[in-house]
Structure 1
């Protein structure tokens, strides 16, 4: 993959999670991908650009209880890049994560095993001190409740085993199953969606398949996630079927139409 394609793939992964990069963000990412800008310089520029977007700090407010992932007294996620404004932090997170994705696409780095944990650590390690660590709080999004913390370790071990077993044979079904399970488990405090899309592309490449994340838009990705979670059983097991067309499109293998 060349630098232009790597940037396009990385940007689209962030767009699936709501990022709307401007021309300067794309130009900086291209400079990083081509080697014109080093990682340290890129990250410093990304943080500066994010801070300029909204330089104010979130005004501290009293909280009734300690919330482990937040800067004390605020609703800003604890981070290692010195940002105390949620708008600025979100922008910096997208920019930095995009650069880390470019590295994966250009094969300048390769996620290690266990793969899911390694991907999250690589994508978010520059921003969050807890990157790659399983969450310690229960999470929900709307009506969807993700796997409770006491069951995370066992379920994640099984998920990593399933990821390791994915191969070219029956790739669509196996990959749809692990992506759906990752969405249901939601093992990290932040960044689960980008971890899932990165896992999908890494598995496709490992299986020797072409892949293009741009074949899936935000509507399709979020729709698959919602459909899977809506069908979750009492053990937080979800069906793989909503993600089958997503995997097919990304990997360019249209099994469901020919079966």
Structure 2
């Protein structure tokens, strides 16, 4: 029974269903989704900001904090292949190497420090899109990734807020970026990245 990611029957789900196994033993998809949203929102306050360097391990740490109350595999890299519509995410065997290249590229740009707002928007849009294709977790990628990019952008000296971005706009921007069209993602970060943080 394929789920929204097209992975079919897998060890992450209860047998014969598309419901992810969870610590609360919730067997209803909408109830699980609501619990996931609420628990991760509360847990987000426990994610501590750290300056660079950042890494896949840092992102895993964020995911662990967000979802440890719900999923046994919180913070662990997924072990199944995943696709969503016409987007195929990175295969598990390549995720660490590919993510390493992306983080190395950001390090080479000094984690975007010293960039003006326009250059930061472009750099962040590209890096966000690349990490999204890695999609390292079975669920909760977007929430963990947004916190990582909050840290990156704040460290680069700018305010960041996700308010005003509709879910469909996120989805459309990610699909476009997968097809090498970064403009919609740049528009997202144009809205999200605010003024320089005053010392």
| TM-score, reference length from structure 2 | 0.78
Separation (CA, whole Å) in 1 of partners of 2:172 and 2:9: 34
Tell me the residue number matched to 2:154.
205
Q: Deviations over 1:109-136 (max 9, x none)?
A: 3368533222222211221111111111
Partner SS for 1:99: helix
Q: Deviations over 1:138-175 (max 9, x none)?
A: 11111221112221121122233345542232422221
Tell me the residue number matched to 2:100.
157
Question: What is the CA-CA distance between 1:181 and the residue it aligns to?
Answer: 0.7
1:187 aligned onto 2:154: no
Does the 8 Å CA contact 2:95/2:134 hold for their aligned counterparts?
Answer: yes
1:77 aligned onto 2:20: yes
Separation (CA, whole Å) in 1 of partners of 2:59 and 2:99: 9
Separation (CA, whole Å) in 1 of partners of 2:139 and 2:105: 22
Tell me the residue number matched to 1:134.
77
Tell me the residue number matched to 2:87.
144
Does the 8 Å CA contact 1:137/1:149 hold for their aligned counterparts?
Answer: yes
Separation (CA, whole Å) in 1 of partners of 2:182 and 2:76: 25
1:244 aligned onto 2:193: no
Runs of 4+ in 1 over 4 A off after TM superposition: none
Tell me the residue number matched to 1:67.
10
Give the 3 Å change call, closer, same or farther, for CA 93–111 of structure 1 in structure 2. farther
Report the RMSD for the aligned CA atoms in angstroms: 2.3
Give the 3 Å change call, closer, same or farther, for CA 117–159 of structure 1 in structure 2. farther
Bigger helix share? 1
Higher Cα Rg, which structure: 1
Does the 8 Å CA contact 1:80/1:129 hold for their aligned counterparts?
Answer: yes
Count matched residues.
178
Tell me the residue number matched to 2:112.
167
| TM-score, reference length from structure 1 | 0.61
Question: What is the CA-CA distance between 1:200 and the residue it aligns to?
Answer: 2.4
Q: Deviations over 1:73-127 (max 9, x none)?
A: 43321112232222221111110011122334xxxx3368533222222211221
1:110 aligned onto 2:49: yes
Gaps of 5+ in 1: 1-64, 232-237, 254-259
